[in-house]
Amino acid sequence: MAAPVGMIADIGGTNARFAVLDADGEYGDPVTLPCKDFETPGVAMRAYADQLGLDALPAEAAISIAGPVRAGRVDMTNHIWRLDADELARELGITGVRMINDFEAIALGIPDIGDDGVTSIREGNEDATGPVAVMGPGTGLGASVLIPSPAGRIALATEGGHATLAPRTDQEQEVVHILAKRFGHVSWERVLSGPGLEALHQAVGGETIDAGEITRRMQDGDGAAADAYALFFAFLGTAASDLALTCGATGGIYLAGGILPRVGRELLASGFKDRFVDKGRFGDYLSHVPVKLITHPYPAFIGLSYLISKSAPG
């Protein structure tokens, strides 16, 4: 790899992923570090640079982060880190840090992701001039919208994961009742995330285990885990179709996040597709919206690479 001209970082609620860019906009092998192991993101970035053997950090950095970014600052939703882009640049001794929401970064990269980075979940009639929506469960539930424009890509960061959950069946009503007693407001993130999957598993009578174990048990045929995932996929279908309608996402829905690529086969066989078009008079509208699962391991890096290359001289 040529000399690095930029650093990119995708910081989630659990892990931070780092890479450096060369002059061609190509990034090297990413490194993943657990957020909990570092007091601040600056310390984590320094640790990454030391691990890579860099004598000096690249002058520019672009960071995607799980949380709402306001004026270059963010308090992470599912982690204790607080970030300020200007302060981080001074701490690292670099020229500048650009900081955006993690799903905003994924949305920016959609045009460059390529067919080998996605799997089709629902066929449709893609409108190349229409908005594209991105949604994905991981430590939390992210959502963003990409709007095509003659001026370039416009990505809207949203906090749609915190909109109020809408149950569609008696069983879902009961689950929401259980979660409301525990949390008060029941957002989509309360069920469509790692902790949400754990809450669903408990709500259907399963024991208290982590999301990874629920996934393993579901794939081994465990009844409670399968029930939890059936609810998970159904809720996802409703949430994704709500986002498609709200944003007019005729360009398609892209599903992302840390959970779904591990259960792509089960997602295809689930009730997700039927629930996605279960919108009464607008079922036909949604039947034309394609749904794709992002399988690329670092989709935010594609958007961050675009962000740095767009701001590069020449």
Q: Is residue 1 part of a domain?
A: no
139 lies in the same domain as 278: yes
Q: Is residue 87 part of a domain?
A: yes
Task: Name residue 10's beta-bridge partners.
Answer: 17, 64
164 lies in the same domain as 235: yes
Q: Residue 31 sits in which domain range?
A: 6-106+298-311
11 lies in the same domain as 131: no
- The reported pTM is 0.92
Q: Which of 59-68, 74-83, 158-167, 203-212 is predicted with the least confidence, judged by mean pLDDT?
A: 74-83
Q: Is residue 152 part of a domain?
A: yes
Q: Is residue 81 part of a domain?
A: yes
**Helix/strand/coil (H, E, C) string of the chain?**
CCCCCEEEEEECCCEEEEEEECCCCCECCCEEEEHHHCCCHHHHHHHHHHHHCCCCCCCEEEEEECCCCECCEEECCCCCCEEEHHHHHHHHCCCEEEEEEHHHHHHHHHHHCCHHHEEEEECCCCCCCCCEEEEEECCCEEEEEEECCCCCCEEEEECHHHCECCCCCHHHHHHHHHHHHHHCCCEHHHCCCHHHHHHHHHHCCCCCCCHHHHHHHHHCCCHHHHHHHHHHHHHHHHHHHHHHHHHCCCCCEEECCCCHHHHHHHHHHCCHHHHHCCCHHHHHHHHCCCEEEECCCCHHHHHHHHHHHHHCCC
CATH of the domain at 14: 3.30.420.40
The predicted-structure confidence for 78-131, as pLDDT tens digits, reads as follows 788 888 999 999 998 899 899 999 999 999 999 999 999 999 999 999 999 999
Distances from the Cα of 129 to the Cαs of 117, 148, 237, 289, 307, in angstroms?
21, 6, 24, 13, 21
| Residues shown for the chain | 314
> What pLDDT was estimated at residue 222?
98
- Residue from 132, 148, 108, 155 nearest 249 by CA: 132
185 lies in the same domain as 266: yes
Instruction: Show the tokens assigned to 139.
Output: 């430590």
Phi, psi of 17 (to 5 degrees): -115, 135
159 lies in the same domain as 25: no
Phi, psi of 235 (to 5 degrees): -60, -40
**pLDDT at 192 > cutoff 60:** yes
277 lies in the same domain as 305: no
184 lies in the same domain as 221: yes
264 lies in the same domain as 130: yes
Q: Is residue 161 part of a domain?
A: yes
The predicted-structure confidence for 132-187, as pLDDT tens digits, reads as follows 999 999 989 999 999 988 888 999 999 999 999 999 999 999 999 999 999 999 99
Percent above pLDDT 70 for the chain: 98
Mean of pLDDT values over 189-207: 97
The predicted-structure confidence for 246-279, as pLDDT tens digits, reads as follows 999 999 999 999 999 999 999 999 999 999 999 9
90 lies in the same domain as 144: no
> What pLDDT was estimated at residue 14?
84
Domain count, the chain: 2
